[in-house]
Amino acid sequence: MIVLRSLVLSFSVFWRLLIVMPVVIPITMVVAFAFSLVFFPLANLFVTIAQVFIGMIGMRAGMQALGAWNPPSLEKLILTSLKWGLLCFVLGLMIGIVAVVTVFALEGEGAWRQLQSALLANSGNLWWTLATSGTPLGWIVVGTIALIYAIGAALMVPMAASAHAASEKAQRLDVFWSLGASFPAMLVVLIGSAAVAAACGALFLSHAVVQDALIAAAAWLDGASPAAVPVDAMLRIAALLLVELWTYAWIFAAASLAFVRRRDEAAADSAVVPAPPAAAASGFAARAPAGPETPSAVDVRALRKSREQS
C-alpha cells in the first residue's frame, strides 16, 4: 500500500530535505517577500507560488529517493510553480469567497460575534478554535478544511507529474494528468500528517516562524532591536520544525510513489499489441515467426496486477 510504503520512504526523503530546504526556503521566501513589497495587493499570490515551488523541490526529492530522478530544469521549475501557484491561489480564493458568503447567509451579524469570541479565546490556532467551537461557523470551517484537503489529495499526483516533468528530457504531460489518482491513499496521508503535526504542536509552525522572522526583519530595518529568544525556546521550536518537515517528507514520498505507480500503469495501458500477420494468399493461416513469444494483452494485464499488489 502507498500509505505504508510512503512511511518507510519518508525517512529517505527527510534527510534530503534537511540538506536542501535550509537553502531553498529562505531564498524562496525572501524573493516572494520582495515581490510582495513591490506588488502588495498580490502578496498572497507570491507567497502561494513560493510554497508551490518549495513543494515541487520536495516532490523531486521524493522521486530521487525512489530512484525516479531526472536532471532538473530551473526554468521549467519556476514556470511550473507559477502555473500551479496561480491555480492554487484562484482555488483558494474561490473557496474562501464561498465560505464567507455561506457564513453570512446563515449567521449574519452573529458570525462577527463568533469570530470575535474565537479571536479572544485563541491560544495560537484560530482555525482549530473555530473548528471545535460547535457553532454553525465552526461547522462551515470544518467543511472548508475538508474541501481543501480533498482538493489537495486529488491534485497530488498531477502536481508530482509536473514536478517530474520540470526537466529538459522529461515527457510533457497535461496539467491535470491523472487527476484524482490514488485519492484515498493521498487523503489518508494528508490527514495523517496533519494529525501528527497537530499532536506535536507543529501544525503550520513554519508559517508562524517565517511570519515572525519577516516582522522582526522589518522592525530591524526600522532601527528597532529584536527581542531575545531563550535558548530552550529556540531548541523546542527547532525540534518542532523537524517534526513538521518530516510530515511534509511523508506527503512528498506518497505523491512520488503514487505518480510512479500511475506512470507505470499508463505505460502498460498504452502498450501496443502487435496484430498477427495476415493470412497468406493461398488460404493457409500464416505462422508467427520463430523466436521469443509476442507480448499479449494477458501479459500486460498480469504486469498491471503484479504492480497493484506491490
Q: Which residue did the predictor score with more confidence, 276 or 41?
A: 41
pLDDT at 182: 92
- The model's confidence at residue 15, banded by pLDDT at 50, 70 and 90, is very high
What does pLDDT average to over the chain? 79
Q: What angle do CA 195, 200, 203 make, to 5 degrees?
A: 60
pLDDT at 289: 43
Which of 82-91, 207-216, 268-277 is predicted most confidently? 82-91
Q: Which residue did the predictor score with more confidence, 122 or 236?
A: 236
pLDDT at 26: 86
- For residue range 119-158, what is the model confidence (pLDDT) as tens digits? 555 545 666 677 777 777 778 888 888 999 999 999 999 9
- For residue range 55-79, what is the model confidence (pLDDT) as tens digits? 999 999 999 998 888 888 999 999 9
Can you give the residue ranges of every domain in the chain?
2-265
Range of weakest confidence among 13-22, 46-55, 134-143, 285-294: 285-294
pLDDT at 229: 67
Whether the predicted pLDDT of 297 surpasses 70: no
pLDDT average, residue stretch 243-261 = 94
Distance CA 263, CA 304 (A): 11
Whether the predicted pLDDT of 220 surpasses 80: no
Strand partners, 72: 167
Range of weakest confidence among 163-172, 256-265, 278-287: 278-287
- The model's confidence at residue 19, banded by pLDDT at 50, 70 and 90, is very high
- The model's confidence at residue 81, banded by pLDDT at 50, 70 and 90, is very high
pLDDT average, residue stretch 236-255 = 91
69 Cβ neighbours under 8 A, 6+ residues apart: 60, 63
- The model's confidence at residue 214, banded by pLDDT at 50, 70 and 90, is low
